[in-house]
Amino acid sequence: MLAKFAVKNFRGFNNRIELDLTRHSNYSFNTFAIKEGIIKNGIIYGPNGSGKTNFGLAIFDIVNHLSQKWKKQDYYVNFTFAGSQDLIVDFEYTFIFNGQTVDYAYGKDFMGILRYEQMNVDGKQVFKRANGILNIDSNEYPMGDAIKHNLADNANNISIVNFLLTSYPLSADNYLIQLNKFVNGMLWFRCLETREFIGLENTITLLDEFIISNNLVPDFKRFLLEISGQKFEFATPVKGDKNLFCVVGRKKIPFTLISSTGTHALELLYFWTKRMSDATFVFIDEFDAFYHFKLAFEVCKLLFGLDCQVFTSSHNTYLMTNDLLRPDCNFIVNDNKIKALCDCTDKELRFGHNIEKLFRGNTFTV
């Protein structure tokens, strides 16, 4: 699981900003949100322009860096703070796999070229590459001087992690194998003017066609009814159909013509829920942009019931309630800082408190 993340000089973050998911309180309610001592579910709030989207994108740099999954095409546009070509963007990750703590840090320039990289496991250095010098644990990863020199030079911008993964036989529980599985299971997506995603998949999928080809039309109908109360009568697909049709009276009308923007967003969510059995860490940016506030609540309950880590960003303070999460799982990002609600006030927060009312009353200060 992801236990901690920090970034510096990324887009709007000129100073180091850190999210520590091991820092949780001992609330006795909604314990599902904490797994193995790590915060599993959370919602990130903040004013417009505070950095909610950028923070989520920063977490997913490791997907661009280590995996071959789908990448956001314009990710490296305005990559460094204020567009400076002189700054190095610093990324720091802490993962916990099978009781082992894996600290992985690296830096990239404005073009996304790797400039340094290091890894520690349980406090012991595995490797460190910086300034054309590579130090590596030769007992665990023996290598010749020529290979070591080429890796230190890094002319082809290869990650030491990916090199070790493909060059050495490793056991299934090895921390590099676990890191590789976790990164390849990460998913970021949003549905605003355009639909975008990072990770988990290798290709773009047409949603209607996915539902039809996987015989999921009845299940999709059930999903829409249960999650939003909407009743659609879908026509039975025939061979070759790639689009969903609804029966209205005696006519067949394309689903896309009679469904709202919010319902289209639900179709995207439905698709990803069918893929999230392979997911490890999910971040949905502005997930409820087109949802009724009560629908957003139901969607959160669905998402937070998944086994993987799931985080969202939102402006919807209706979700800021102890009926859904808890004060250590609701975060505010602002002024280059991110804090849980319980760390933004001296007031002792209890289950019976109206967290949304306290928030609107300016109780919380980042």
Q: Give Cα separations from 297 to 67, 227, 286, 291 (angstroms).
A: 32, 10, 13, 9
Please report which confidence band the pLDDT of residue 30 belongs to, taking 50, 70 and 90 as the band edges. very high
What is the distance between the alpha carbons of residues 2 and 31, in angstroms, rounded to a whole number?
Answer: 18
Please report which confidence band the pLDDT of residue 154 belongs to, taking 50, 70 and 90 as the band edges. confident
Contact yes or no for 300/319 (Cβ under 8 A):
yes
Contact yes or no for 84/223 (Cβ under 8 A):
no
What is the distance between the alpha carbons of residues 366 and 21, in angstroms, rounded to a whole number?
Answer: 17
**DSSP of 241-266:** --S-EEEETTEEEEHHHHS-HHHHHH
Please report which confidence band the pLDDT of residue 23 belongs to, taking 50, 70 and 90 as the band edges. very high
Predicted local confidence at residue 336, as pLDDT:
93
Contact yes or no for 38/50 (Cβ under 8 A):
no
Predicted local confidence at residue 161, as pLDDT:
95
Please report which confidence band the pLDDT of residue 28 belongs to, taking 50, 70 and 90 as the band edges. very high
Q: Give Cα separations from 198 to 22, 62, 73, 139, 271 (angstroms).
A: 25, 11, 9, 36, 15
Mean pLDDT of the chain: 91
Per DSSP, 3 falls in state E
Give the three-state DSSP class for 178. Answer: helix
Predicted local confidence at residue 83, as pLDDT:
74
Can you tell me the mean pLDDT for 82-93? 89
Predicted local confidence at residue 192, as pLDDT:
60
Burial 37-70 (b: 16+ CB within 10 A, else e): ebbbbbbbbbeeebbbbbbbbbbbbbbbbbbebb
Q: Which two tokens stand for residue 105?
A: 């840090």
- Residue the block writes with tokens 């059930």: 222
At residue 193, does pLDDT exceed 60? no
At residue 55, does pLDDT exceed 60? yes
Give the three-state DSSP class for 197. Answer: strand
Please report which confidence band the pLDDT of residue 209 belongs to, taking 50, 70 and 90 as the band edges. very high
Element (H, E) at 26: none
Can you tell me the mean pLDDT for 104-122? 94
Q: Which of 77, 65, 161 is nearest to 114 (CA)?
A: 65
At residue 200, does pLDDT exceed 70? no
Beta strand pairing status for 2-8 and 89-97? Answer: antiparallel
| pLDDT tens sequence across 264-303 | 889 988 988 888 888 999 999 988 887 888 989 999 999 9
Can you tell me the mean pLDDT for 28-48? 95
The rounded percent of the chain whose pLDDT value lies above 70 is 97
